[in-house]
Amino acid sequence: MNKKFFTLLAATCIFSVASTVMANEVVIPQNKLKQAGINVNRAHMGRFSSDNSFLYLYQSNPDLKRTREGFPVELFVLPIDGKNKVGDIKKYEISSPVSKIEGMTLTPDQKNVIIISKSGTSFVKLNLETGKQETILEHVEGQPGFRSNPQLIRVDNGEVFVQGYFYDSQNFAGVDCTTILDPSKKGVEAFKEVIRIEKTIDYDLRPLAYSFTSTKCAFGVLDDKKGKQSIFAWNPPEVNEPVTVDDGKKISDFWASGNRVAYSIQRADETYDLMIYDLKTKEKKTIASGTKTPYFNLALSEDASTLLFTDTEHRITRAKYFYADEASGWQMKPVVDFGDKTRPFGVTRISNNGGKVAVFNRKSLTIADVK
């Protein structure tokens, strides 16, 4: 890629949408989303802001003319009040070097979005107040850089961290590591290595999946190729080698935040348990046990206090939504605004403190209170 200089991203647009309200459940139907420019067949769910004041979605630009002009992606910010009502939706058109959004996170101050594109080699900062777009890093032939795993970018302890590897001017890759990303800097200097993970997770164990919850803590799934899968935890220097948290015939789903990991596991008798494990206290709790089908769509809030999950037994397009939280001793309860009824199934997000849920599908976007 040749280095370029990029101008301020294009115009920012604001839309107002009407919605259906039941208790604190707010449903924005497809036609109202369309009025705001959100195409339910293109759009992807982002996340809640840390203070629950907004939610964001993104999509490839449906306007081919604008795409050819260099604006291939649109980002939508939906402000949310205390009763989950959505205010004026703000749209941003995002320009090169972003070709599509592969990974993204809000900065700790919630004023910027960090976007990863181009197979993990391009990093862009978008200011949500001014609409200004800046390139932090992009791949340039003959120059060193950093390539990330786009899905492993998060905020922890007031800092943005990302997992990947540095490469030199001849494109030779270094070891896998986690780094702190300083959004105020540009170029490879914006990335500071924290810890190397090669020969610990990636190469010796080859996990089916793993997730970093901080710069030095990771949880994941291993398969021994003999009919057993396990959940592992890694947190140096306290846990220098990955340790097995639990094992069974299959790990159907897992989600990690902070020092905790929640997982749905199939036991030897073919039944499923829903579990949560705390690496700090070494305490393992059973949320549900002995079910014929697993609970899916696990989402643990960023503060690790609340787990959201669904029961999709004998259903394809509908589900029952449940939660369990630390305050109740991890007792399973129906999401308060949904009750014990099936709901249209969709991509699900939980707010950072576990208080709100968003469900997005081809018919609507629903925002509701969890508890």
What pTM was estimated for this model as a whole?
0.88
Who contacts 139 (Cβ-Cβ below 8 Å, separation ≥6)? Answer: 1, 118, 121, 122, 145, 147
Instruction: For 257-296, write each residue's pLDDT tens digit.
Output: 999 999 999 999 999 999 999 999 999 999 999 999 999 9
Q: Alpha helices, DSSP H only, in the chain?
A: 30-35, 64-68
The Cα 118–Cα 123 span in angstroms is 9
Instruction: For 157-187, write each residue's pLDDT tens digit.
Output: 899 999 999 999 999 999 889 999 999 999 9
Residue 294, preceding bond cis, omega within 30 degrees?
no
Residue carrying the six token digits 């935890």? 233
pLDDT of residue 244: 93
Residue 187, helix vs strand vs coil: helix
pLDDT at 109 over 90: yes
**Closest among 353, 318, 323, 324 to 337, alpha carbons compared:** 323
pLDDT at 196 over 50: yes
Question: Residue 1: pLDDT band by 50, 70, 90 thresholds?
Answer: very low
Percent of the chain topping pLDDT 70: 91
Who contacts 317 (Cβ-Cβ below 8 Å, separation ≥6)? Answer: 344, 345
Question: Residue 19: pLDDT band by 50, 70, 90 thresholds?
Answer: low
Measured at the CA of 52, the angle between CA 46 and CA 53, to 5 degrees, comes to: 95
Residue carrying the six token digits 């990093």? 123
Question: Residue 206: pLDDT band by 50, 70, 90 thresholds?
Answer: low
Neighbours of 238 (CB within 10 A): 10
pLDDT at 21 over 50: no
When the pLDDT of each residue in the chain is averaged and rounded to a whole number, the result is: 90
Which domains, and CATH codes, for the chain? 209-369 (2.130.10.120)
The Cα 45–Cα 360 span in angstroms is 7
pLDDT at 321 over 90: yes
Distance, first Cα to last Cα, the chain: 49
Question: Residue 209: pLDDT band by 50, 70, 90 thresholds?
Answer: confident
Show the tokens assigned to 300.
């643990």
Question: Residue 240: pLDDT band by 50, 70, 90 thresholds?
Answer: confident
The Cα 359–Cα 348 span in angstroms is 5
Query: Does residue 258 contact residue 271 with C-beta atoms inside 8 Å?
Result: no
CB burial class (10 A; 0-12, 13-18, 19+) of residue 206? exposed
Secondary structure (DSSP) of 202-256 = TTTT--SEEEEEETTEEEEEEE-SSS-EEEEEEETTTEEEEEEEEEESEEEEEEE
| Distances from the Cα of 310 to the Cα of 264, 274, 316, 320, 323, angstroms | 11, 11, 12, 5, 9
pLDDT at 146 over 90: yes
